[in-house]
Amino acid sequence: MSADSRADLAVVGGGIVGLACAWRAARTGLRVEVVERGEPGRGATHAAAGILAPDTEAEPGAATLAALGRRSLELWPAFAEDLERESGREVGFARCGTLVVALDRDELDVVRREHDVLARMGLEAQLLSGSECRKLEPGLAPVCAGGLLAAHEAQVDPRRVVAALVDALVAAGGVLRTDAEAVGLVREGDGVRGVVLADGSRVAAERVLLAGGAWSGRNGLAPVPLPVRPVKGQVVRLRAPADELPAERMIRSEHVYVVPRASGEVVVGATTEERGFDTAVTAGGVLELLREAYRALPEIAELELVEVTAGLRPGSPDNGPLLGETGVDGLLVASGHYRNGILLTPVTAEAIEALVAGTPPPEAVEPFSPRRFA
């Protein structure tokens, strides 16, 4: 049994969300302890492509979520800069832009509709012809019929972000306990004052933040409903020589996205599957991803196949995150970020930092109170 400890904030879950909230809180001088049942960053964060695309990923009618994403994208450059300075590690933030491409007439209709929806929501994207797309990205298939350019969108490398967060958290005086599964909460009256770990030890804390990703609803820790479910995503990693990337920008078609990184890594993603906690990678999943990526960028057939991964996105009933006070004294949540958890990390950390400090969280976060599902 490990020793009991005491903190101002105990964080359950060492994915990108829990680590970022912990780091920001530790920088304010609070004693922060993260408990992670395995290794940090091996949940959904490990699979994620790192696309920071609030506009081209926006769903029709989800204006509040797009606004939250935009706010977070605005925060990303300073967040990455602080993190790189405090950890001494690079995180791969790059404002490379997204090009959404149509590979036939039907897809072109979809892209045009997407452009109209974005314009109505006041979001930025420029409609291009097929030849304009190919001028920007010569590796695109000649069938490219048109596209939508969002030059302001960006990417980051989630695995590098996790490595940097771990170091920055420790540098700020925070504690990360690995192989430490939270199995219960320390209750005091109606409130929560810490977590109980599987080995029987306790982290006593003024506040607890639940950031357990897709497992947040399953842990049985929260005394209030947390309707978070796993949504499986398979993703393929390829490698290109760094000076021979198949594209400069992130390329998205109706069925696939391709994210080229300066390091030579090329991420092709992602399936969306409702299969509970299953994380098997399947021949069908890989076939679909590579076929669709090849339709858009034929050169990818030449690249080295490095890895196939499946991760579990933390889905919520309205696809928006659950951020903030749960209604139980001392218990906060940051989960349900679904397909935008990397994008939403800075705004989530800002909101939790504000709540812990007793100052108002950013306005864009208000619609995402976990209490909307009570």
- What CA dihedral angle connects 120, 125, 129 and 130, to 10 degrees? -120
Please say which residue, 12 or 102, places its beta carbon nearer to ligand FAD.
Answer: 12
Closest CA to 345 of 335, 355, 331: 335
Q: What is the 3-state secondary structure (H, E, C) of the chain?
A: CCCCEEEEEEEECCCHHHHHHHHHHHHCCCCEEEECCCCCCCCHHHHCCCEECCCCCCCCCCHHHHHHHHHHHHHHHHHHHHHHHHHCCCCCCECCCEEEEECCHHHHHHHHHHHHHHHHCCCCCEEEEHHHHHHHCCCCCCCCCEEEEECCCEECCHHHHHHHHHHHHHHCCCEEECCCCEEEEEEECCEEEEEEECCCCEEEEEEEEECCHHHCCCCCCCCCCCCCEEEEEEEEEEECCCCCCCCCCEEECCCCEEEECCCCEEEEECCCECCCCCCCCCHHHHHHHHHHHHHHCHHHHHCEEEEEEEEEEEECCCCCCEEEECCCCCEEEEECCHHHCCCCHHHHHHHHHHHHHCCCCCHHHHHHCHHHHC
Closest CA to 320 of 69, 50, 67, 65: 65
Please say which residue, 12 or 25, places its beta carbon nearer to ligand FAD.
Answer: 12
Asked whether position 100 contacts ligand FAD by CB under 6 A, the answer is no
Quote the least distance from Cβ 152 to ligand FAD, whole Å: 16
Site string (314-333) toward ligand FAD, x via CB under 6 A = x-------------------
Asked whether position 49 contacts ligand FAD by CB under 6 A, the answer is yes
Among 150, 196, 342, 356, binds ligand FAD (CB under 6 A): 342
DSSP secondary structure code for residue 284 in this structure: H
* Number of residues lying near ligand FAD (CB under 6 A): 43
Quote the least distance from Cβ 277 to ligand FAD, whole Å: 11
CB atoms within 10 A of CB 220: 10
Quote the least distance from Cβ 132 to ligand FAD, whole Å: 25
| Contact by Cβ (8 Å): 94, 262 | yes
Among 174, 311, 315, 330, binds ligand FAD (CB under 6 A): 311
Asked whether position 235 contacts ligand FAD by CB under 6 A, the answer is yes
Asked whether position 42 contacts ligand FAD by CB under 6 A, the answer is yes
Asked whether position 96 contacts ligand FAD by CB under 6 A, the answer is no
β-pair type (5-12, 32-35): parallel
Asked whether position 237 contacts ligand FAD by CB under 6 A, the answer is no
- Residue range at the interface with ligand FAD (CB under 6 A); choices 121-129, 280-288, 340-348, 361-369: 340-348
Site string (154-193) toward ligand FAD, x via CB under 6 A = ---------------------------xx-----------
Asked whether position 215 contacts ligand FAD by CB under 6 A, the answer is yes
- Residue range at the interface with ligand FAD (CB under 6 A); choices 49-57, 165-173, 296-304, 358-366: 49-57
Among 65, 335, 346, 350, binds ligand FAD (CB under 6 A): 335
Please say which residue, 146 or 153, places its beta carbon nearer to ligand FAD.
Answer: 153
Site string (264-303) toward ligand FAD, x via CB under 6 A = -----xx---------------------------------
Asked whether position 258 contacts ligand FAD by CB under 6 A, the answer is no
Give the footprint of ligand FAD on residues 345-374 (CB under 6 A): none
Quote the least distance from Cβ 54 to ligand FAD, whole Å: 9
Give the footprint of ligand FAD on residues 103-142 (CB under 6 A): none
Binding site for ligand FAD (CB under 6 A): 12-18, 35-38, 42-45, 47-51, 181-182, 211-215, 219, 233, 235, 269-270, 311, 313-314, 335, 337-343
